[in-house]
Chain A
Amino acid sequence: MLSLKYGQTDEVAALFSLCRMDTLIYLLVYPQRPLLTTRTIELVGYDKLGAGQNATVAVMSYSGYDIEDAIVMNKSSLDRGFGRCIVMKKMSAIVQKYENGTSDRIIRPQRERYDPERLQILDDDGLASPGEIIRPDYIYINKQSPVVTRGPITSPMGLPDSAYKPSIQTYKGPEGETPVLDRVSLCSDKNNNLCIKFMVRHTRRPEVGDKFSSRHGQKGVCGTIVQQEDFPFSERGICPDLIMNPHGFPSRMTVGKMIELLGSKAGVSCGRFHYGSAFGEPSGHADKVEAISETLVKHGFSYNGKDFIYSGITGMPLQAYIFMGPIYYQKLKHMVLDKMHARGSGPRVMITRQPTEGRSRNGGLRVGEMERDCLIAYGASMLIYERLMISSDPFEVQVCRKCGLLGYYNYKLKTGICSTCKNGDNISTMKLPYACKLLIQELQSMNIVPRLKLTEA
C-alpha cells in the first residue's frame, strides 16, 4: 500500500499508519470527503483519503479577533469534533552491546531508588505498559549500562549490580498535556541490538493559536473561540462553524474559494458532489457558476450565496447579507501546544554565560538591537541595564585604574590584584557583561590592548 504525506496537513497519511511506528504522525479524528472536488482529485483518489472537514464558513467580521487572517471558531463545533486530531510521537531506546561483551540491561523498577510516582507506569519488565497516561518526568524505560565498556573483562555476562550505572529515560513533554502510551514494540536494529520503540498518543482539540487552512492557501490561526449562542444564525437555523474575515479576499484574489463556497452550498442542498475546477466547463468536468446559482435558487437560497443573518448576541438582523456556505478546511500541524514557550531562569551558554537560545533549549527571549534602540530612544536606562546586564550575563571584574587592564580577586588577601602592575593599590571593582570581558580577553590574545578608563560616577 502507498503511504502519502502532504506537507503540513493532518490527515490519514496511510491506511495502515496506525500499525506503523512513525517518528511523528498527525491524524484527523473525523475526516470528511470534500463537497467540491475536481476530476483530477477523483482520479488521484485524494477524496478517498480525507484530509480535512467541510466547515460552514461565514465571510464576515466578528469581534476584532479575526484580523490578519485569524479565524473565529464556534465552540460547539469544536465540542462535536471539528478539527480534533491525534498526535503520535515515537520515543526509542536501544539496549546496546559493547565491545568487551557487556551490554545494557533492563531491570524491574527499584522502588526505593526513585520517586514512586515517576515509576508508576513501569511494568515489572522495566518497560512502561501500553494504555498508561504518561506525564513529564515519568520513567518509561528502566535501563542500566555497565560502567566499564572497554577492555577485557572477566565473565562479561555475570557482572555484579555494582558494575552497572542507571541510564533511565524519562518522558519530556509539555506540561498540561496528558498523553497516553499507545504501543510498545520490540525489534532489533541494524547492529543487532534490541531496540524498543514507544508510541505516545495525544488527542487535541483546536485551541486559540492553532493553524487552519482552506485548499486555496488561505491559512489563518484561530483567533478566538466563541460560544454557539453568540454566533450569527440564519432563519433556517444554520450557524457557521467558523468565521473568516473578508479582508482575506481582495488582495489574494482567491476566486476559487468563493466558487468552492457556492458549489459546496449547492452540493449540500441538492445532494450531489460538485466539480469546482476553473477548467473543463464546456466538457462538463466543471460546474458553471450560473448552474450552481440556479441550484441554489431552486433550494431557496439567494443566487449569490449570501444569506440573511441574525446576530446571536442581540437577536437583531445584521446590516448586510453574509456570504455563507461550506468550505473544506484542513488543520495544519502548527499547533501552539508545540510552540508555546516562556522562561524565567534557566540554562546558560557556557562560553558567554548568556541565556540559551531557542525553545528546545528552554532559551530566553532576546532583546535585540531594534528593541534596544527603542529603549534608548525612550530613555529607559534602568530597563536597558536590567535587560542587557542583570538578566543576562553580569560579571564582577577587578579593573586597574592605572593600567586599565583586568586584574583578579585574591581570596586569600581578600583584595583585587592587578597582574600587570603586580599590586592591588589602584583596583576598582565593577560590573561588566561577561561577553564584554570575553571580548577584552580575546582582543588581548590578538595583541590588541583594550584599556578601561574609569572616572568617578
Chain B
Amino acid sequence: MEGRSYQRFPTVKIRELKNDYAKFELRDTDASIANALRRVMIAEVPTIAIDLVEIEVNSSVLNDEFIAHRLGLIPLTSERAMSMRFSRDCDACDGDGQCEYCSVEFHLRAKCLNDQTLDVTSRELISSDPSVVPVDFASPSSEYDNAENRGIMIVKLRRGQELRLRAIARKGIGKDHAKWSPAATVTFMYEPEIYINEDMMEKLTLEQRMSVVESSPTKVFDIDAKTGRVVVVDPEAYTYDDEVIKKCESLNAPGLVEVHPKEDSFIFTVESTGAIKASQLVLNAIDILKQKLDAVRLSEDTVEADEQFLELDAHMRGG
C-alpha cells in the first residue's frame, strides 16, 4: 500500500528489574499500544492454576468448595504455561483434560494428630511435575524472611481432622478466571514534563516557594539548599493532582509551574503474582499481542476490508 507510513519504533528502557517486580519506560508509542500491553498482561498471558479438585476426605471446618476455591487461587510456577496446551484443545487426551500435556496433578494429605492446630499450607501440595509447584516466596532472591515463610494458608486443622485430596492444575488465562492472571499489578502513567517559570519564581519569597513545594502531596519539588531555588527532584512522583497549579494560582502567579503529560511516553509498573517472572510476563505479553495481530492479518475479513479501504483511498484522493 502506498501512502505515508505511520510506523513507529517504540523503545523500552528498563529501570528496575526484580523477580516479581519490573519498572520500565515505553517511549515513542501511543496510549493504545501501552494499554493493549497492559490488558494482555492482566487477562491473556497464560499460567497454570488448580482447576479441578477431587476431595477424598475433608473433616476440616471449611467445606469442599471453599477449599477448592482457595486452592485455585494459589499461584503455581508457570514457566511451562506458554508451551503447554489448553485442555480444551488437547488431542492427547480425550477431552477430560487429565494428560501430562495439558495438566499437572497435585496431592495433598494432612492430618492433625496432636493438640496443636495444624496449618495446612501450599507447601503440603505435592506436584507430579517438579517445574510446576506452588510459588515459594522463600527463594533466596526474594526479600522475605525465611523463618517467617510458611507458604500460603489453605486451612487449619485441629486434632483428629483430616484433609486428603487430589487436584488437577490446568493452563488458562485471566479472562476466564482471575486465578489464571499472572499480574498482581500492572499499571502505567504518562511521563510528566514539569516546567518551572524561573523568572516568576524569582519574584516569590522563600516562604512562598516553600508553600509551593509543600502543596504537592507527593515529593515532586524541593528547594535547593544553596541557591534557594525550587527544583524538580522527582517528576514521576507527580500524580497529576493539580495541587501545585492551584497553589500557584492562589499565589497570583498562574503559569509559575506547568505540567504536561508526554503523550508518547509511559512508565510501566508490573508486579507478578510469582507465577512467572515479571520480565517474562512482559515478554510473553508481547508474544501474545503479536499472535493476536497475526490472527487479524491472516483472517479473510481483513483482506476484504483492505480491498474496501483501497477503494476508499482512491476515492479520497479524487480518483
A229-B43, A233-B187 known; A303 and B217 CB under 8 Å? yes
Which one of A180, A228, A301, A307 has the greatest number of beta carbons of chain B within 10 Å?
A228
Residues in A whose Cβ lies below 8 Å from that of B31: 314-316
What 0/1 readout, one digit per residue, does chain A (287-329) give for beta carbons within 8 Å of chain B?
Answer: 0000000001110111100011010111111000100000000
Q: Does A259 contact B (CB under 8 A)?
A: no
Please determine whether A317 and B39 come into contact, CB atoms closer than 8 angstroms.
no
* A 211-240 contacts with B by CB, 8 A: 227-229, 233-237
Closest-CB distance, B178 to chain A (whole angstroms): 4
* Residue in A80, A131, A300, A303 whose CB lies within 8 Å of B178: A80
Q: Does B239 contact A (CB under 8 A)?
A: yes
* Residue in A237, A297, A301, A314 whose CB lies within 8 Å of B185: A237
* Residue in A131, A182, A235, A314 whose CB lies within 8 Å of B189: A235
Q: Does A29 contact B (CB under 8 A)?
A: yes
A80-B178, A300-B218 known; A235 and B43 CB under 8 Å? no
What 0/1 readout, one digit per residue, does chain B (175-214) give for beta carbons within 8 Å of chain A?
Answer: 1011101000111111000000000000000000000000
Residues in B whose Cβ lies below 8 Å from that of A227: 43, 175
Q: Of B63-71, B143-151, B221-229, B275-283, which binds chain A? A: B63-71
Q: Does B174 contact A (CB under 8 A)?
A: yes
Closest-CB distance, A309 to chain B (whole angstroms): 10
Q: Is the contact region of chain B dominated by helix, strand, or loop, or is it mixed?
A: mixed
* Residue in A203, A298, A303 whose CB lies within 8 Å of B66: A203
Complex Cα–Cα for A201 and B174 (A): 28
Residues in B whose Cβ lies below 8 Å from that of A84: 69
Residues in A whose Cβ lies below 8 Å from that of B177: 79
What 0/1 readout, one digit per residue, does chain A (67-81) give for beta carbons within 8 Å of chain B?
Answer: 000000001110111
Complex Cα–Cα for A182 and B65 (A): 12
* Residue in A201, A228, A302 whose CB lies within 8 Å of B241: A302
Complex Cα–Cα for A184 and B162 (A): 20
Q: Does B167 contact A (CB under 8 A)?
A: no
Closest to A235 in B: B189
Residues in A whose Cβ lies below 8 Å from that of B20: none
* Residue in B178, B240, B241 whose CB lies within 8 Å of A76: B178
Q: Does B271 contact A (CB under 8 A)?
A: yes
* B 289-307 contacts with A by CB, 8 A: none
Please determine whether B38 and A76 come into contact, CB atoms closer than 8 angstroms.
no
Which one of B73, B187, B269 has the greatest number of beta carbons of chain A within 10 Å?
B187
Residues in A whose Cβ lies below 8 Å from that of B269: 235, 237
Please determine whether B34 and A315 come into contact, CB atoms closer than 8 angstroms.
yes
A229-B42, A300-B217, A300-B218 known; A182 and B179 CB under 8 Å? no
Which one of B175, B178, B188, B269 has the greatest number of beta carbons of chain A within 10 Å?
B178
Please determine whether A86 and B63 come into contact, CB atoms closer than 8 angstroms.
yes
Which one of B63, B181, B237, B271 has the greatest number of beta carbons of chain A within 10 Å?
B63
Please determine whether A317 and B261 come into contact, CB atoms closer than 8 angstroms.
yes
A235-B188, A308-B239 known; A315 and B178 CB under 8 Å? no
Complex Cα–Cα for A398 and B53 (A): 67
Please determine whether A317 and B240 come into contact, CB atoms closer than 8 angstroms.
yes
Complex Cα–Cα for A50 and B271 (A): 30
Q: Does B25 contact A (CB under 8 A)?
A: no
Complex Cα–Cα for A328 and B188 (A): 28
Please determine whether A308 and B240 come into contact, CB atoms closer than 8 angstroms.
yes
Which one of A81, A234, A312, A315 has the greatest number of beta carbons of chain B within 10 Å?
A315
A180-B64, A234-B187, A237-B186 known; A315 and B38 CB under 8 Å? yes
Please determine whether B187 and A302 come into contact, CB atoms closer than 8 angstroms.
no
A203-B65, A229-B43, A300-B217 known; A76 and B239 CB under 8 Å? no
Closest-CB distance, A299 to chain B (whole angstroms): 8
Closest to B185 in A: A237
Closest to A311 in B: B35
Closest-CB distance, A234 to chain B (whole angstroms): 7
Q: Does B250 contact A (CB under 8 A)?
A: no
Complex Cα–Cα for A84 and B63 (A): 13
Complex Cα–Cα for A229 and B69 (A): 22
* Residue in A18, A80, A182, A235 whose CB lies within 8 Å of B239: A235
Residues in A whose Cβ lies below 8 Å from that of B187: 233-237, 310
Please determine whether A314 and B35 come into contact, CB atoms closer than 8 angstroms.
yes
What 0/1 readout, one digit per residue, does chain B (106-125) give for beta carbons within 8 Å of chain A?
Answer: 00000000000000000000
Complex Cα–Cα for A302 and B181 (A): 30
Residues in B whose Cβ lies below 8 Å from that of A229: 38-39, 42-43
Complex Cα–Cα for A302 and B217 (A): 6
What 0/1 readout, one digit per residue, does chain B (221-257) give for beta carbons within 8 Å of chain A?
Answer: 0000000000000000101110100000000000000
Complex Cα–Cα for A303 and B246 (A): 13
* A 250-298 contacts with B by CB, 8 A: 296-298
Listed by A's residue number, 24 A-B pairs whose Cβ atoms lie within 8 Å are A18-B61, A76-B174, A80-B179, A81-B69, A131-B64, A180-B64, A180-B65, A201-B63, A227-B175, A228-B43, A228-B178, A235-B239, A237-B185, A237-B186, A301-B217, A302-B217, A302-B239, A302-B241, A302-B243, A308-B239, A315-B32, A315-B36, A315-B188, A317-B261
Smallest CB-CB A-B distances: 4 pairs: A315-B35, A237-B185, A79-B178, A76-B178
Query: Interface of A with B (CB < 8 Å)?
Result: 18, 29, 75-77, 79-81, 84, 86, 131, 180, 182, 201, 203, 227-229, 233-237, 296-298, 300-303, 307-308, 310, 312-317, 321
Other A-B contacts than A308-B239, A315-B32, 11 sampled, CB-CB below 8 A, are: A29-B69, A86-B66, A235-B188, A237-B187, A237-B271, A300-B217, A312-B39, A313-B35, A315-B34, A315-B36, A317-B240
